[in-house]
């Protein structure tokens, strides 16, 4: 499911959406771009299962954030007792079996406003690039009047990419830490 609705996109751009299917596709693609950038689902996923290879540390960091619940922990197919959920990880004072399967819920029930804004911005750029009302003005000069138009297909592949500012915000706030290994 996209991080924003077609109605949100219409309100964001200040224009009625003429082609709902195109707008929905733009929002879906923008959502995918954001998820790829942060390496996270971000939407709420309940009872997800992940199998992690345990190391020598007592903490097992879960790959998706934020973690909202941990319902079960099993090691090598056997339910593990005496574990504690502590934010982004589970811990056990006696160490872990080799492979640990954790069932947990993660993500946001309501997508944060900054993520929605980036989704709408990317989708808005896609729709503007494909606007049937005419070519996009790339440059305009007032003195000795000059105008330059972008051909309809120019830049369409890059219009959906994140800006550097959007990338930085997503990385700083939502990207998971490096060094986690998971097996699904």
Q: Determine the pLDDT at residue 110.
A: 97
Residues 65 and 8 in one domain: no
Residues 24 and 56 in one domain: no
Q: Determine the pLDDT at residue 66.
A: 96
Residues 64 and 7 in one domain: no
What is the edge-to-edge ordering of all strands in the sheet holding 78-79?
A: 45-53, 99-106, 67-75, 78-79
Residues 116 and 167 in one domain: yes
SS3 track for 67-91: EEEEEEEEECCEECCCCEEECCEEE
- Output the tens digit of pLDDT for each of the chain's 184 residues: 999 999 999 999 999 999 999 999 999 999 999 999 999 999 999 999 999 999 888 999 999 999 999 999 999 878 888 899 999 999 998 889 999 999 999 999 999 999 999 999 999 998 888 776 655 555 566 766 655 555 555 444 445 689 999 999 999 999 876 544 444 4
Cα–Cα distance measured from residue 110 to residue 66, given in angstroms and rounded to the nearest whole number = 12
| Residue 4 structural domain | 1-41+111-128+162-177
Cα–Cα distance measured from residue 126 to residue 123, given in angstroms and rounded to the nearest whole number = 5
Residues 6 and 93 in one domain: no
* All residues at 6 or more sequence positions from 98 whose CB lies less than 8 Å from its CB, including other chains: 53, 54, 75, 76
**157 within domain boundaries:** no
The pTM (predicted TM-score) of the whole model is 0.79
Task: Take residue 170 and report the two structure tokens written for it.
Answer: 């997503």
**73 within domain boundaries:** yes
Residues 19 and 69 in one domain: no
Tally of structural domains, the chain: 2
Residues 7 and 25 in one domain: yes
- What are the respective helix, strand and coil percentages of the chain, to the nearest 5? 30, 30, 40
């Amino acid at each position: 499911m996209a991080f924003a609705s077609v109605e949100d996109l219409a309100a964001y751009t200040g224009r009625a959406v003429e082609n709902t299917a195109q707008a929905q596709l733009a929002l879906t693609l923008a959502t995918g771009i954001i998820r790829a950038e942060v390496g996270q689902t971000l939407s709420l996923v309940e009872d997800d299962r992940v199998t992690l290879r345990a190391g020598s540390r007592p903490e097992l960091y879960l790959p998706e954030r934020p973690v909202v619940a941990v319902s079960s922990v099993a090691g090598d197919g056997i339910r593990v007792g005496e574990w504690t959920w502590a934010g982004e990880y589970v811990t056990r004072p006696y160490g872990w079996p080799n492979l640990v399967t954790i069932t947990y819920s993660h993500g946001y029930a309501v997508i944060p406003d900054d993520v929605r804004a980036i989704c709408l911005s990317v989708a808005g750029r896609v729709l503007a690039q494909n606007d049937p009302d005419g070519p996009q003005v790339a440059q305009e000069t007032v003195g000795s009047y000059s105008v330059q138009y972008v051909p309809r297909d120019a830049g369409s592949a890059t219009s959906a990419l994140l800006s550097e500012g959007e990338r930085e915000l997503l990385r700083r706030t939502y990207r998971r830490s490096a060094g986690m290994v998971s097996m699904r």
